[in-house]
Amino acid sequence: MHLTFGSVIWYIVIGLILGLIARFLLPGRQHIPLWLTILVGIVAAFVGDYIAGKLGVRVTPGFDWIRHILQVVVAMIGVGLVAGLYPKPA
């Protein structure tokens, strides 16, 4: 995989979107910083793509709903796990 400045920015934007969607869909508050939300979202994008590829639905005609739903589900799991492990504010 060849990373360019533009692709790095794109991964950060996708990570932010996935992380924020996950935080919105999860019940309660997640006391994690924005940088960690973005990081979890970036990892979720890659893991969701990998799972979609294994299921044979990574690239489909039209909008890739299944792949994106998998990415959001992985982001929700990741944000939930990280929020549970991250120290709570005093």
Domain extent listing, the chain? 32-85
How much is the mean pLDDT over the chain? 89
Find the farthest-apart pair of alpha carbons in the chain and give their distance in angstroms, rounded: 49
Place 1 in a pLDDT band, splitting at 50, 70 and 90: low
With contact defined as beta carbons under 8 Å apart, do 63 and 49 qualify?
Answer: no
Residue in 7, 9, 23, 20 with CA at minimum distance from that of residue 81 = 23
Give me the residue label for tokens 């492990």: 85
pLDDT tens, residue by residue, 37-77: 999 999 999 899 889 989 988 877 888 889 899 999 999 99
Start-end of H helices in 5-64: 5-25, 34-55
pTM beyond 0.85 = yes
pLDDT at 36 over 70: yes
pLDDT value at residue 71: 93
